[in-house]
Amino acid sequence: MSRTAAALIIGNEILSGKIADTNTTLLARALFDLAIELRRVLVCPDEISTISKDLSDLRASHDLVFTSGGVGPTHDDVTIDGVAASFGRPVVRSVAVEKMIRQYHGDRTTEAHLRMANMPQGAEMIRSSDAPWPTVVIENVFVLPGVPEIFELKLADLHKRLDEGYEFHSQAVYTLCDEGEIASLLERIAEAFPGVMVGSYVKWQAEDYRTKLTFDGTDPDAIAKAADMLVHELDAKLFVRRE
Amino acid sequence: MSRTAAALIIGNEILSGKIADTNTTLLARALFDLAIELRRVLVCPDEISTISKDLSDLRASHDLVFTSGGVGPTHDDVTIDGVAASFGRPVVRSVAVEKMIRQYHGDRTTEAHLRMANMPQGAEMIRSSDAPWPTVVIENVFVLPGVPEIFELKLADLHKRLDEGYEFHSQAVYTLCDEGEIASLLERIAEAFPGVMVGSYVKWQAEDYRTKLTFDGTDPDAIAKAADMLVHELDAKLFVRRE
């Protein structure tokens, strides 16, 4: 029932610190809502051989893989080549996408623009109402662009396709506890409710709370009981609120 | 001369989207300033066996490895155990750090607090003026905390140790170009200056420019010449500024 996923974030600009990757968080939240467990995120440079090898590892060990970045028109956009190499397929040009690109750019269309019509042979294209170009999908791999606005649009489009009706549930308890003082109680809760993922987050900036405890999982009853156990055993004056 | 690095970002909270990782960008920028090439970033869950295996892979294939997260007092803080397992060493308690922790927490000290004195046998501890606890270093692996404020403090402390006097240089040219129209020129520049990393970044939100071109590397002359070539061959009315 629970599906696993991995992300391959492609781009020298992230590894050099020029651009802060925000797509990982967008993807993580979208997958959490679909009860798909994101198990691994890998950031790699714009190199065909690295992309190919990393993608081969990730798609063999996860149900779904999402790539981000490297699908533009410039010389360092080599994701499609890397994906094709991973599947041992040639890169072909989609006549349909080429036509869309020529319509969009008109007389100013260059060979570089047309690179965006390249895809691994046999890839599926998912059309979207909002995003300018279709999304390339090949077996369990979804090839998404790096630009966060378009990444998010395409992710929203994929929601229906990925939705199998499961969802994760979550509860949070905000406290004034010191994390070290509450650690043994959290361990007992985690042992008592093995299906519930217990998280603990210290706030360093000033807030109305000090440590936030989270309870996540697929069983809403177990989550509620785990949060109950915390609130019940907690010194009442350390309790702030529950969400 | 050029050293390579990898990062292992540890934490379920990042994979579930609860917390957005910002340490990767802090690390990437710090390493870029030191001319250390960050080649790979991996985000993995709080699992001893996964941390151990991933760390073994990364430290065998990179000069330096930085871990982030999983060093607090709670049950899901298992980074030290994972690091120790990767090196095949037992976890031992540092008497010096235990003393610091007992002084800090006084009578309220718990066994959970004292977990933060655990480290792989034979690890080195780097003391810092600003950060509360020392940084654990073992061979080429630097174990940093996940809290961004402390991560950044500790990174600043490591600067002197990691500095070998090399630096990357960078120039940027802001243009009104469409990325597809400039792609073949960029490819020629990249071919003419093989030691220069040429990057191209489209701005989607409204700005005074459309595409930013960057030139990075260790040779400032080559970088200046690569940027010159762009400015020279570019249609003058598409040029915005150079930095």
The CATH number that applies at residue A206 is 3.30.70.2860
Among candidate residues B162, B185, B206, the one where a domain is terminated: B162
Distance, CA of A114 to CA of A118 (rounded, Å) = 7
Residues B122, B202 share a domain: no
Specify whether B215 is located in the same domain as B144: no
Work out the average pLDDT over B170-187. 92
Rounded to two decimals, the ipTM of the complex is 0.91
Of A162, A186, A205, the last residue of a domain is A162
Q: What confidence score (pLDDT) does residue B146 get? A: 93
B119 CB-near residues (< 8 Å, 6+ apart): B80, B84, B91, B92, B93, B94, B97, B125, B136, B138
Cβ atoms of residues B201 and B214 within 8 Å: yes
In a shared domain, residues B37 and B141? yes
Q: Tens-of-pLDDT digits for all 243 residues of chain A?
A: 589 999 999 999 999 999 999 999 999 999 999 999 999 999 999 999 999 999 999 999 999 999 999 998 888 899 999 999 999 999 999 999 999 999 999 999 999 999 999 999 999 988 876 667 789 999 999 999 998 988 999 998 898 889 988 888 999 999 999 888 899 999 999 999 999 999 998 887 767 899 999 999 989 999 999 999 999 999 999 999 999
Percent of chain B at pLDDT > 70 equals 98
Answer yes or no: is pLDDT of B149 > 70. Answer: yes
Residues A119 and A13 grouped into a single domain: yes
State which residue of chain A sits closest to B36, comparing Cα positions.
Answer: A16
Question: In percent, how much of chain B has pLDDT > 90?
Answer: 78
Clarify whether residues A94 and A25 are in a common domain: yes
Average of pLDDT values for B55-60? 98
B172 and chain A in contact, CB less than 8 A: no
Tell me if A17 and B29 make a contact (CB, 8 A cut-off): yes
> What's the pLDDT score for residue A131?
65
Q: State the smallest CA–CA distance between residue B50 and chain A in angstroms.
A: 10
Residues A211 and A180: beta-carbon distance below 8 Å: no
Tell whether B206 lies on the interface with A, counting CB pairs under 8 A. no
Co-location of B77 and B24 in the same domain? yes
pLDDT tens-digit profile of B64-95?
999 999 998 888 899 999 999 999 999 999 99
| Residues on chain B touching A45 (C-beta within 8 angstroms) | 39
Judge if B87 and B202 occupy the same domain: no
Searching chain B, which residue's CA lies closest to the CA of residue A181?
B110
Report the CATH number at residue B21.
Answer: 3.40.980.10
The minimum CA-CA distance between A87 and chain B, rounded to whole Å, is: 22
Between A4 and B205, residue with greater pLDDT: A4
Of A162, A180, A203, the residue at which a domain comes to its end is A162
Residues of chain A with C-beta less than 8 angstroms from the C-beta of B187: 74-75
Given this model, what pLDDT does residue B165 score? 87
Task: Say yes or no for a CB contact (<8 Å) between B16 and A28.
Answer: yes
User: So what's the pLDDT on residue A25?
Assistant: 97
Same domain, yes or no, for A89 and A50?
yes
The answer to whether residues A173 and A157 belong to one domain is no
Residue B1, pLDDT above cutoff 60:
no
Mutation site, A3, A4, A9, A15, interface B, largest B CB count within 10 A: A15
Model confidence, pTM: 0.92
Please check whether residues B156 and B176 belong to one and the same domain. no
Looking at the structure, tell me whether residues B52 and B144 fall in a common domain.
Answer: yes
User: What are φ and ψ of residue A18, in 5° steps?
Assistant: -70, -40
| B27, B43, B183 ranked by CB distance to A110: nearest | B183
Whether the per-residue pLDDT at B229 is higher than 90: the answer is: yes
The answer to whether residue A18 neighbours chain B at the CB level (below 8 Å) is yes
A83 and A201 part of one domain: no
Domain carrying residue A220:
169-242
Number of domains in chain A: 2
Q: Which residues of B touch A190 (CB under 8 A)?
A: 75
Q: Is the pLDDT of residue B2 over 90?
A: no
For residue B9, which residues of chain A lie inside 8 Å, CB to CB?
Answer: 41
Mean pLDDT calculated for residue range B152-162? 90
> Which positions in chain A touch B182 (Cβ < 8 Å)?
74
